[in-house]
Structure formats: C-alpha cells, structure tokens
Amino acid sequence: MEKSYTYYMLGMNIISEIELPGIVSTSLDYDLKIIISKFNMDTEKGKDYKTFYTMNENEFLCDIRNVAKYKISGGSLIEIDPYDQADMELIIVYLLGTCMGVLLVQKEMIALHGSAIVINRQAIIITGQCGAGKTTLSTALRLKGYNILSDDISPVMLLDSGQVMSAPAFPRQRVCHDTAVKLGIDTNFLQRACSEDLKYNIDISAEFLEHPVELFGIIQVIPGDVEDVALTELTGFEKINLIKSNIYCKEFYYRMDFKPSYFKKIINLARKIHAFRLVRPIGEFTVEKQINLLVNVIE
C-alpha cells in the first residue's frame, strides 16, 4: 500500500487504503484489509439493474452502478473497484453498510440492524422496521447525553469469559429530515448523506464511545394501534426470532451457507441478554415516554 489508514471498528482492527470516519488503531495485527483494486465481474445477467450481486460461502461480489464494484473474500479482505468520477462519500456509504454487514456474516460475527446506546454503563441495541421510530429514539437519547456505540449496524461479541459485548462502529449517525425537525436539530449546518432520501450525516464524536460495552439487551420499536407506550419483555423463541429477524443484511443471511456454529451463537446470545418489544401509538410523538420506560427498565 502506498498510503494506508488504520482503524478499530465493528470489533475489528482494519488497515485501509481509503480514509474512513473511525477510531484510529495502533495494532500491528489486522483482521481486515481494504484495498483499491481492479477486478473482473460478470454482470451481464444484471445489466438492467442499478445494483447486482453474486455470492457464495466465502465470496461476495457486488456492482453498484456508477459507484463501485466490491469484492468481499473470506471475512478478511474487501477489494473496491470505483467507477470513473464516482463520489467517494457514496463509495464509503456502501462500504460501511452492505459490505461490512456481509463481511461480519462471513466472519460468523453477529451484527444487528440497529443503534447501540449506553445507559447505566450497559449497552442497549434499538431495532425496528424502517419508519418504526428507532432512529428517533436513539437520537433523542444521544441528545440527552447518553453515549452511543453505533448507528444502523451493531456488532455483538461473545467472549470466552461468557460476557456479551456491544462493539463500537464509527462516529457518524444518519438522521432523516423528519426526525431532525421533530427533535429540534438545525439541518442548515448538516452534511447531506449521499442517498436518494433526504438524510443527513451527523458527527457524533462527542457522544461516541471507542471501547466495547457489556450488552444488556435488545429493544424492538413497533408502531401500533395502542393508546399509550407499552414495554413487554420477550422470552424463549420470541427472543431468538427477534435476533434472527434483525441480523444486519438479513437478505443475504438466508442465501449463504451458514455453519451450525453461527446459529449456536444466536441461541447463546438469546440466553445471555434481555429482549423487549416497545409498542408506541401510531401518529403520536411519544419519545419522552419511550425514554422513561427504557431507562427505568435498565437502571
């Protein structure tokens, strides 16, 4: 590498030819290498699609038209072949999203689609479908001074000691325009995220924790036909299904040949953490009530 950057993120030490928004690593050993490389990819079958991918157990190739081609191999190497005049910020968006999600699955690391917030020295991962209100809740908690470990992709580490840790991702949060307005965030000074949606990138370095934190549990936010906010603890198969249904990049999760050890990790994780379903009234802004319930159950 002519020039390289070193990072610790998503539970890995990384050496990269691309500068990323992350925690600088001082390790001499690296779990992942990211390089710029020209490679061939047969995209004839997907020529009519904006995004095309092919995959097997150890390799994932993806062609994002007018952005870059990505090759992820063996859970240890990401090769990037950018298109001419491609926006580097957009290249990084796909790298830190889809590519990292697939790589963590290749490494048999569990990564959940949600934001990890630290309350009372314990991490809680907030999940939910698009529009459920998970970003609003996690952003509101951050604005109240609670530390944040990750936004959108939250890796989980099961240690030999039996502890379950939530690993830090990178000090950036993506917030949609509606959420920003509801929470009183001035969007005039925010950077637009490279997305077709009206979203913004927020630097969260001030509230970001750079070390893993023990994981208390998972909270699933659901809008429902209810009169008030309600929090219910999940057990047994409900807890396992909650984890499985919120694996990051789950669309690839069902198409790859997983070893039984991966599913054992999911079951082991379910045994060691709490899981809750938080139902909020549709059409009402109840984030303060949600925060009170959440903080009370953890503290």
102-133, pLDDT tens digit by residue?
899 888 899 999 999 999 999 999 999 888 88
Looking at the structure, tell me whether residues 76 and 170 fall in a common domain: no
Look at residue 46 in the predicted model and tell me its pLDDT.
Answer: 47
Mean pLDDT for 39-53 is 65
92 and 131 co-located in one domain = no
More confident residue, 281 or 105: 281
Instruction: Mark whether 129 and 26 lie in a shared domain.
Output: no
| Contact assessment for residue 211 and residue 270, using Cβ atoms and an 8 Å cutoff | no
Q: What is the CATH number of the domain that holds 280?
A: 3.40.50
191's enclosing H/E stretch is strand 191-192
Taking 50 as the threshold, does the pLDDT of residue 96 lie above it? yes
Q: Look at residues 107, 128, 146 and tell me which one is the last residue of a structural domain.
A: 107
Weakest mean pLDDT among 73-82, 113-122, 243-252: 243-252
Can you name the residues that pair with 55 across neighbouring β-strands? 60
pLDDT of residue 196: 55
36 and 120 within one domain = no
13, 74: one domain: yes
CA 83 and chain centroid, separation: 25
Domain range for 154 = 112-298
**Among candidate residues 66, 84, 107, the one where a domain is terminated:** 107
Q: What are 186-215's pLDDT values in tens digits? A: 878 777 765 556 788 888 999 999 999 999
- Say how many domains are in the chain: 2
pLDDT (mean) for 227-237: 93
How far apart CA 114 and CA 240 sit, in angstroms, is 16
Give the pTM: 0.89
- Cα–Cα distance measured from residue 164 to residue 184, given in angstroms and rounded to the nearest whole number: 35
Residue 81 is predicted with a pLDDT of: 95
Q: Are residues 169 and 127 in the same domain?
A: yes
**Same domain for 93 and 142?**
no
Mark whether 96 and 191 lie in a shared domain.
no
Considering the domain architecture, whether residues 38 and 86 belong to the same structural domain is answered as yes
SS3 assignment for 145-212: CCEEEECCEEEEEECCCCCEEECCCCCEEEEEHHHHHHCCCCHHHCEECCCCCCEEEEECCCCECCCC
**CA–centroid distance for 274 within its chain:** 19
Q: State which of 46, 76, 107 marks the end of a domain.
A: 107
Q: Are residues 240 and 119 in the same domain?
A: yes
User: Is residue 33 located within the same domain as residue 16?
Assistant: yes
Asked if residue 154 and residue 66 are part of one domain, the reply reads: no
